[in-house]
């Protein structure tokens, strides 16, 4: 759908945007979420649920920042007009 509106994906070089295995995050999960976590390991290398789309800009670079505070990795994209 994004292609039909001429949007491009800035995060195509990032394959994992979430880490559900962090100890800090796992403590806050409910029982059902804790049961599902082992299933995520099947998709560990390509577990991507966060995207950045852009239009009418030039993507300079997009990077993923490792952090210790969230199960989602922050994504920073640099663009040029």
* pLDDT given at position 14: 87
* pLDDT given at position 44: 57
pTM of the predicted structure, to 2 decimals: 0.66
Structure tokens at 31: 């029982």
Burial (CB < 10 A; 0-12, 13-18, 19+), residue 10, is buried
> Mean pLDDT, 10 residues at a time, over the chain (81 residues)?
89 81 60 68 69 95 85 91 92
């Amino acid at each position: 759908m994004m292609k039909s509106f001429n949007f491009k994906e800035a995060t195509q070089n990032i394959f994992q945007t979430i880490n559900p295995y962090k100890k800090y995050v796992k403590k806050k999960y409910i029982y059902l979420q804790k049961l599902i976590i082992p299933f995520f390991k099947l998709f560990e290398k390509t577990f991507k649920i966060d995207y950045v789309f852009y239009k009418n800009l030039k993507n300079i670079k997009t990077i993923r920042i490792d952090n210790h505070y969230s199960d989602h990795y922050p994504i920073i994209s640099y663009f040029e007009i």
